[in-house]
Structure 1
Amino acid sequence: MALKLAVEEVGKDFLIPVIDRVSFGVEAGEFVCLLGPNGCGKTTLLRIVGGLEPATRGRVTLDGEPIVAGQPHQHKVGVVFQEDRLLPWLTLEQNVALVLKPLGLGAAERAAIARRYLKISGLVGFEDYHPARVSGGMRQRTAIARALAIEPDVLLMDEPFGALDAQNRRIMQNEVRRIWRETGRTILFVTHAIEEAVAVGTTLVMLSARPARIRELIRNDGRTDRVKLIDDLNTMIMEEV
């Protein structure tokens, strides 16, 4: 099967190397988690994949086409950040519909698409609420709906549940797995929480301490005992600190 997303020998320098020769591939419909020690370059790598930051070396391709920072790309990339970044003066529906304006869609079509993805994200009945009136988890669901509304070829998620409390974080982990199953989107998900990566990811990419390299690539297909997998990943992290 052809790769949906390919990261090839990517390196990044900020005076010193922070990412060094990272290579991995993502097949269509995979849910890949990037994890590693704090400060190892996970978010920087995600930004390079999304075309938000240039690589110093190597390249990233989406459906075979190189992604180059600052240059237009024929494919769509959705991004969910740790902060929801909703506009407080707009309703949840209006926040989602806003990203569809550059696509040249009419107001009615934008509203219909926004409502559809708010429904997928479990927000039926809250379309006309403003962000200040809903919980942090609901705001983050809206951010996910907004990213999905453009029907991206790949969805990038940068520690999207990091600001939530433990209970809401667990709820959102279940929700993002459900949304992934329902939409079939290809997802690249950054987290520093090992239990979270094991809970949501089909493939786990463990990065080393800086300069980040691939320490381990693990298929999380349910065949490995979950407790043992978490213990093994914790051991890897401790060895990198």
Structure 2
Amino acid sequence: MLLIPAIDLKDGQCVRLRQGRMDDSTIFSSNPVDVAQRWVDAGARRLHLVDLNGAFAGKPMNAEVVRAIAAQFPQLPVQIGGGIRDADTIAAYLEAGVQFCIIGTKAVQEPAFVVDVCRQFPGQIIVGIDAKNGKVATDGWAEVSQVDAIDLAKQFEQAGVTAIVYTDIARDGMMNGVNVKETARLAAHISIPVIASGGVTDLEDIKALLAVEDQGVMGAILGRSIYEGRIDLAAAQRLVDGV
């Protein structure tokens, strides 16, 4: 199972939000490239970047930082989400060395867009599904739709989506445990691998996700827990490697 450190970008800095609220952020570093280096040194095999400003603006707002991280670690897969609403943005990120682009709001509003970009950029498109009580949230979690998370994911089974990042926004940044049940339920209903996100707090959460790995849960995104020292990334990596 992949353990993927998150680097959330706001105004060029590395921050963590609570439940996606831009007015409830903690700045962890003014140098996101240094943060990326820290996680690479701890054994990270992929990085998860989020352009928080971009998620609200609907266009990239921290692209320079994203490019700098991708350039610094050319052999490391990087996935980026937040404000990706057109094919030109995807092309620019991929040209900069990013390996995967995450489509969130646009996937809800225009599912056909996902089909189109999967065709243009095969193997490089991830869909981000952020949900509250099973319903999909959009626009940086500012709006909760009536679209069911499983129904949305099913629309992309034949499109060529590489993975689904599933975030329970009620738990994100709250340090009260990942929603293993809903994550596993989504994975069991679709053929696309699922990456768990939101609320991963300690090694017990990682063990619980490992227990459902065979149901299609391919990885977990780690945020506040590794920044606050609740999870030692190197130790967690040894756990999932079975060493």
Taking structure 2 as the reference length, what is the TM-score of the superposition?
A: 0.38
Greater relative contact order, per chain length (Cα 8 Å cut-off, separation 6+): 1
Q: Which has the larger radius of gyration?
A: 1
Taking structure 1 as the reference length, what is the TM-score of the superposition?
A: 0.38
